[in-house]
Structure 1
Amino acid sequence: MKAYWVKTNRLIKKLFSNYVWDIPNKENKIYLTFDDGPTPEITAWVLNQLEQYNAKATFFCIGKNIEQHPEIFKKVIEKGHAIGNHTFNHLNGWKTNTNEYIENSVQCSVISNQFSNNKPQTTDNQLFRPPYGKIKRAQAKKLRQKGYKIIMWDVLSADFDQNITKEKCLKNVVNNTRSGSIIVFHDSIKAFENLKYVLPKVLEYLVENHFSFETIKN
């Protein structure tokens, strides 16, 4: 199993201060995010769970998945959630030529706009999250020059990790969430076994502890 931080190290946040790791505030606002969708059935399930708690989230979508499942993508927007760019083909920036990476990211924005019903206030594709959290400095610089805001995270649920228990996944979130935390989940097939256990319990815990849910703004 590859190593990762559940709670992003403060030094990393300081070294890469051009990226957004959290959004400090005094109102107990937190920011739920979901990567890798839209995914048939799973994304719809996530939307239903969020609706039960009147919770808004930011979905970082893969362009190819938007193209294949436009109706699910439109449903995310209709429910009032924010949209972010996760490249067209879920590229690993460390393993991808910079120009190719930028072109692929822009391609995701194009397809997102195509299916967004022209509602820019809820389909802000200038939010960008690099798949795997891996992006070269040159790639990040060019994306920022194009107006993208690079969104990372404060808390990683690790729902994608099939080697941890669902109980451990839950603890990852509840033990590390603070006001301003950006929390990562995945509306993907790989993560769903953990997600379907964790998400309802996380939402209940956060509400009981007086957190409120906000989308990420550009």
Structure 2
Amino acid sequence: ILDKYNIKATFFVVGKQVEVYPELTREILERGHILGNHSYSHDANHALSDFGSKDMLRCAEVICQYTGITPCLYRPPYGKSSPWELASTKEMNMITVNWSYAVEGDSLAGTDNAVSKVLDEINPGCILLLHDGYGIDSNSLESDCQLTLKVLDSLISNLLKQGYNFVTVPVLLGTNAYS
């Protein structure tokens, strides 16, 4: 769908998934998209201790191992971060990125409804969050991305008609994607 509209996106990847799907991770780069760090384990409680910093570092190492690049962008799982994690991102010369509007969960059940909600909420400079599923276990119901795919085409088409342009997070923020 992104290719259809010649849109480049930023994919925040989970380290465990990079290990399972290294070819897909490399394909993201080959297609001109950006890779960002989304932790190694996607642990919901990562921000409660210094585990989050270690998890973030491990993801960076895995991404580099399989692709040769080290992302400068970090999206904490569930949007949660702690002071020590923020300090670690600064030490690692990384930028913490969150989203403006999440297109997910029950809102995806009806394509028209999901698109209408986004169109009502979005404004220039927004970062849209879409998931390729809602779990890190492959081949589970939670990892099913069909609802996202159903919404994406219509969402892009409608936003383009309204005059929006799509850019990667580094372009939006005026920063480097990789160190």
Q: Give the TM-score of the pair, scaled to structure 2.
A: 0.82
Per the TM alignment, residue 84 of structure 1 is displaced from its structure 2 partner at its CA by 0.5
Q: Deviations over 1:58-79 (max 9, x none)?
A: 0000000001001111111001
Q: Deviations over 1:133-185 (max 9, x none)?
A: 1111222122222211000011111x234795443322232222211110000
Alignment match of 1:176 (pick from 97, 113, 121): 121
In the other structure, the counterpart of 1:41 is none
Q: Give distance in 1, aligned partners of 2:163 and 2:111.
A: 24
The AA in structure 1 aligned to 2:113 is K
Q: Confirm or deny that 1:203 pairs with 2:156.
A: yes
The AA in structure 2 aligned to 1:207 is L
Percentage identity across paired residues of the two chains: 26
In the other structure, the counterpart of 2:105 is 160
Q: Give distance in 1, aligned partners of 2:12 and 2:83.
A: 20
List alignment gaps of at least 5 residues for structure 2. 134-140, 171-175
Q: Give distance in 1, aligned partners of 2:44 and 2:162.
A: 36
Per the TM alignment, residue 206 of structure 1 is displaced from its structure 2 partner at its CA by 1.6
List alignment gaps of at least 5 residues for structure 1. 1-48
In the other structure, the counterpart of 1:85 is 37
Distance 1:148 1:108, change over 3 A: same
- Of residues 184-193 and 196-205 in structure 1, the stretch that sits farther from structure 2 once superposed is 184-193
- RCO higher in structure (CA 8 A, sep ≥6): 1
In the other structure, the counterpart of 2:22 is 70
Contact 1:93 1:136 in 2 (8 A): no
In the other structure, the counterpart of 1:110 is 61
Alignment match of 1:142 (pick from 57, 65, 88): 88
Q: Give distance in 2, aligned partners of 1:107 and 1:126.
A: 14
- Of residues 137-146 and 176-185 in structure 1, the stretch that sits farther from structure 2 once superposed is 137-146
Q: Give distance in 2, aligned partners of 1:54 and 1:169.
A: 22
Q: Secondary structure at the match of 1:115?
A: helix
The AA in structure 2 aligned to 1:106 is L
- Of residues 162-171 and 199-208 in structure 1, the stretch that sits farther from structure 2 once superposed is 162-171
Q: How many residues align?
A: 163
Q: Confirm or deny that 1:212 pairs with 2:165.
A: yes
Q: Give distance in 2, aligned partners of 1:95 and 1:106.
A: 14
Taking only aligned residues, the RMSD between alpha carbons, in angstroms, comes to: 2.0
Contact 2:53 2:84 in 1 (8 A): no
Contact 2:15 2:40 in 1 (8 A): yes
Q: Deviations over 1:63-105 (max 9, x none)?
A: 000010011111110010011100000022466421x211111
Contact 2:74 2:95 in 1 (8 A): yes
In the other structure, the counterpart of 1:20 is none
